[in-house]
Amino acid sequence: MERDTPLRFVKGIGEARSACFAKLGLYTAGDLLTFYPRAYEYRGEVKKVAETEDGEVCSLLLTVDSEPRTGGTKVQYIKFTAGDDTGSITVTFFNQRWLLRSISAGRVFRFYGKITYGFSGREMLSPSVEQVLPSKRLPDVVPVYPLTKGLTNNVVASAVAAALPLLDTEPEIFPDAVRERHSLLSRRDAVRSLHLPSGRNSVAAARRTLAFEEITVFQLALRIARRGVSLVSAPEMTYKNSGIRRFFDNLPFSLTSAQERAVKDILGDMCRKEPMTRLLQGDVGSGKTAVAAAAMYFAVRNGYQCAFMAPTEILATQHARTLDRMLSPFGMNVSLLTGGLSKKQKELLYSSLSSGGTDIAVGTNALIQEGVEFRNLGLVITDEQHRFGVRQRALLTGKGDTGDRKPHMLVMSATPIPRTLSLILYGDLDVSVLDELPPGRQTVDTYLVGSDKRERVYGAILHAVREGGQAYIICPLVEDSADTDRQSVEAYAAALRGGSFSGIPVGVLHGKMNRKDKDAAMNAFASGETKVLVSTTVVEVGVDVPNASFMLIENAECFGLSQLHQLRGRIGRGKRKSVCVLLSDNAAGRTGERLGIMCREHDGFRIAEADLEQRGPGDFFGDRQSGELVFRVAGAADMALVEQSRALADEAFAAGSKAYPELFAAAGRIADTNERKNGIS
């Protein structure tokens, strides 16, 4: 067996099961190694019956003290009592008659499950059960793997166990001295311990080692991507004759003081000899586009071209329109470049970019394709930065790289990023923050309700529409079937048109639509022709329709808080009082707490902090768009390791790949993964 041996050849898997594993994103034997358990059952920590509390999940070592009774027709059950020296409990199994073969009075078993207090005292329903025999030692810890239909935990665990010998040839990422200094396990031991842990301490030590590794590798990847930036010169610009005042005077509003500060930072950077590497961070609606436009105006005035990259076509199209409105009065030429252009259109545009006929190219990642060349690229901007990988950022900058000169770079992010995470993501970028919203913005009243209230919510939407407003209805993507988002969005819209919303123009928007239809749907909504837009999260980033004042989010529990905040940011942009309704039938416990934060908090930064705390950085941006976050192990609690790992990444970067070959190799793999993940927007 090799790392790239297909799973169907791994012992105990075969053709049918390998299809199930594929659903979990596992294809080769090597993939199993980093398929870490999502939780552990500490079955070795055995309790006494008398100590157990209602609702507690625990492990008990019990002797069966009554012969099992069986019964039931549709659902067959087995019922018996079992106890230790402090008391006894009733154990019931459903549809597991095969257990009768081993369970009988006098035998000893270890039961693991949830205790409930019922009529006849303490009970366990369908616990895990293992017979205690002198010949066999039971494991103290049982790893719990993410599963999918057709796979049991045992099947996954034994597949992983079969792959573990691959670790024998696993290279160490860190040299011994580094491991010693930071008290890290060997990589081999750490991976093995996560799969076959001996107790709580071994899990914690293994997690720490692997989290440290992930964070360090990532930091190094960032440094590699930015290699040499400060060694080259930049397109030097000047305020002289830029006439930036005239740009401001032409805006339909005056800048907030936060926007003014940011513009000053950015223009100041562009007047220096080194390329700017700046992050513009500002909550949803804080007006980053106008700041970007000022920077582009300045660059074009100084004789340079600009490239502005957005993660989706909808957003790129919208930006191109906005920028054209702001900049064409000054004779600047804005062009849109997306994958949707015909070959002929593309060729025309390419030649206008390379001749300098186009001043500003706005586009999706079509901008970083081969063949796109600029005459004199001086400024690159990426919007919604977290959607792009390290390498994509570097590729865009590369379009203006003349060998001894690199363009200025501005990255913008609407997702307010907690300090610890921004250290990881952006390393040492300079940061400008828009910490102020334009005047007249109102908070969006947010409610959490169950689906029994759906008709009432529809009533509220109809009311808003009658008053001249518009509404979004957001449906989550349904798991992994390529067609379900279309179906769910289109079926939902059809049901509305045929029911509560008959006579009201209802539009749809989802990722599977072709470009023309997407544009048409967005335009129809922006112009007010459609009143209600049923959509997936494709409207999440940046879309700006100020007349929309209502948002209903179905299955709100499926979204991360930052994502909900982004979605909610689509409304409350105009004069109308805006309302956001989170619909969820799954709002008990932690989920309810999480969604409750949305109802109380309107500050994106505090929401992001809460989100990070609850979900850890791997999930921070939601799975689909996790962009460059590829952490499998590191969680919120590991953020304390960031400072140490930054220092190590700096040290390794300075020492070079000869001193840290495996660390550099791992960092290189990250860049590649991101490129693949972000291939198409």
Residue 542 engages ligand ADP in binding (rule: CB under 6 A): yes
Q: What is the smallest separation between the CB atom of 604 and ligand ADP, expressed in angstroms? A: 10
Each residue 571-600 as x (binds ligand ADP by CB under 6 A) or -, in order, gives: --x---------------------------
286 binds, among Mg ion, ligand ADP, none (CB under 5 to 8 A by kind): ligand ADP
236 binds, among Mg ion, ligand ADP, none (CB under 5 to 8 A by kind): none
User: Within positions 48 to 77, which residues make up the interface with Mg ion, using CB under 5 A?
Assistant: none
User: Among 349, 256, 350, 337, which Cα is nearest to 294's?
Assistant: 256
90 versus 415: smaller Cβ distance to ligand ADP: 415
Which parts of 374-393 interact with Mg ion (CB under 5 A)? none
What distance lies between CA 427 and its chain's CA centroid?
Answer: 19
The residue sitting closest to ligand ADP, measured at its beta carbon, is 287
Report the DSSP beta bridge partners of residue 39. Answer: 144
Rounded to an integer, what distance in angstroms lies between the CA atom of residue 206 and that of residue 187? 9
**Cβ atoms of 649 and 428 closer than 8 Å:** no
Q: Compute the least distance from the CB of residue 483 to ligand ADP, in Å.
A: 31
Residue among 131, 115, 122 nearest 64 (CA): 131
Minimum distance between the CB of residue 544 and ligand ADP, rounded to whole angstroms?
5
User: What secondary structure, in 3-state letters, does 239-308 show?
Assistant: CCCCCHHHHHHHCCCCCCHHHHHHHHHHHHHHCCCCCCEEEEEECCCCCHHHHHHHHHHHHHHCCCEEEE
357 interface partner picked from Mg ion, ligand ADP, none, CB below 5 to 8 A per type: none
Q: How far is the CB of 291 from ligand ADP (least distance, A)?
A: 8
Instruction: Assess 542 for contact with Mg ion (CB under 5 A).
Output: yes
Q: Which residue has the tokens 């793997």?
A: 145
**Cα distance between residue 569 and residue 607, in whole Å:** 13
For residue 19, the minimal CB distance to ligand ADP (Å) is 42
Would you say how long the chain is, in residues?
681
Using CB distances below 5 to 8 A depending on partner kind, what does residue 235 bind out of Mg ion, ligand ADP, none?
Answer: none
**What is the CB neighbour count within 10 angstroms for residue 298?**
25
Q: How many residues bind Mg ion (CB under 5 A)?
A: 1
What does 432 interact with, of ligand ADP, Mg ion, none (CB < 5 to 8 A by kind)? none
Residues β-bridged to residue 455: none
Q: Which residues are CB-contacts of 656 (< 8 A; sequence separation ≥ 6)?
A: none
In the complex with ligand ADP, the residue whose CB is nearer, 283 or 611, is: 283
Closest residue to Mg ion using C-beta atoms = 542
| Distance from the Cα of residue 162 to its chain's centroid | 31
Helix (H, G, I), strand (E, B) or coil at 588: coil
H or E, element range at 318 = helix 313-327
Shortest distance (Å) from residue 285 CB to ligand ADP: 5
H or E stretch including 484?
A: helix 484-498
Supply the minimum distance, in Å, between the C-beta of residue 337 and Mg ion.
18
**Minimal distance, residue 119 CB to Mg ion, in Å:** 59
Nearer to Mg ion, 156 or 323 (CB): 323
Give the interface size with ligand ADP as a residue count (CB under 6 A): 18
Can you tell me which residue has the tokens 């919303």?
Answer: 501
Considering only residues 546-565, where is the footprint of ligand ADP by CB under 6 A? 546
Residues 607-636 within binding reach of Mg ion (CB under 5 A): none
For residues 91 and 15, give the distance between their C-alpha atoms in angstroms, rounded to a whole number.
37
The distance of closest approach from Cβ of residue 416 to Mg ion in the complex, given in angstroms and rounded to an integer, is 13
- The option from ligand ADP, Mg ion, none interacting with 544 (CB < 5 to 8 A, set by class) reads ligand ADP
414 near ligand ADP, rule: CB under 6 A:
yes
| Nearest residue (CB) to ligand ADP, 175 versus 438 | 438
415 binds, among Mg ion, ligand ADP, none (CB under 5 to 8 A by kind): none
Which residue's CB is nearer to ligand ADP, number 435 or number 544? Answer: 544
How many beta carbons lie within 10 A of that of residue 131, not counting itself? 12
Instruction: Please state the closest distance from residue 24 (CB atom) to ligand ADP, in A.
Output: 36
- For the CB of residue 601, give the shortest distance to Mg ion in the complex, in Å: 21
The torsion angles phi and psi of 252, rounded to 5 degrees, stand at: -75, 0
List Cα–Cα distances, 396 to 47, 128, 169, 428, in angstroms: 59, 54, 37, 19
φ and ψ at residue 410, rounded to 5 degrees:
-125, 125
Task: Sketch the per residue contact string, 253 through 292, with ligand ADP: x for CB under 6 A, - otherwise.
Answer: x-xx--x----------------------x-xxxxxxx--
Shortest reach from residue 281's CB to Mg ion, in Å: 12
Question: Which structure tokens are listed for 221?
Answer: 């990847």
Tokens of 504: 């009201």
**Measured between alpha carbons, how far is residue 55 from residues 58, 126, 451 in Å?**
9, 14, 28
By CB under 5 A, is residue 311 in contact with Mg ion? no
For ligand ADP, which is the closer residue by CB, 82 or 543?
543
Q: Which is nearer to ligand ADP, 190 or 380 (CB)?
A: 380
433 sits near ligand ADP (criterion: CB under 6 A): no
Q: Which is nearer to ligand ADP, 143 or 569 (CB)?
A: 569
8 A C-beta contact, residue 410 and residue 295: yes
Bin 322: left if φ > 0, else alpha if -120 < ψ < 50, else beta: alpha
Which three-class secondary structure state does DSSP give residue 370? Answer: coil
Minimum CB–partner distance for residue 680 and ligand ADP (Å): 23
Contact between 569 and Mg ion per CB under 5 A: no
Regarding 544 and contact with ligand ADP (CB under 6 A), the answer is: yes
- Report helix, strand or coil for 235: coil
Taking the least distance from each CB to ligand ADP, the nearer of 103 and 291 is 291
8 Å CB contact between 52 and 83: no
Cα angle value 645/650/656 (rounded, 5°):
120
- The item of ligand ADP, Mg ion, none sharing an interface with residue 281, based on CB under 5 to 8 Å by kind, is none
- Closer to Mg ion at the Cβ: 400 or 542? 542
Provide the minimum distance between the beta carbon of 447 and ligand ADP in the complex, in angstroms, as a whole number: 23
* Least spacing, CB of residue 290 vs ligand ADP, in Å: 5
Binding range to Mg ion, per CB under 5 A, among 213-221, 297-305, 536-544, 606-614: 536-544
> Using an 8 Å Cβ cutoff, are 84 and 109 in contact?
no
| Segments in 126-256 forming alpha helices (H) | 153-163, 176-181, 187-195, 200-225, 244-250
Q: Which residues bind to ligand ADP, rule: CB under 6 A?
A: 253, 255-256, 259, 282, 284-290, 414, 438, 542, 544, 546, 573
Tell me which residues touch Mg ion (CB under 5 A).
542
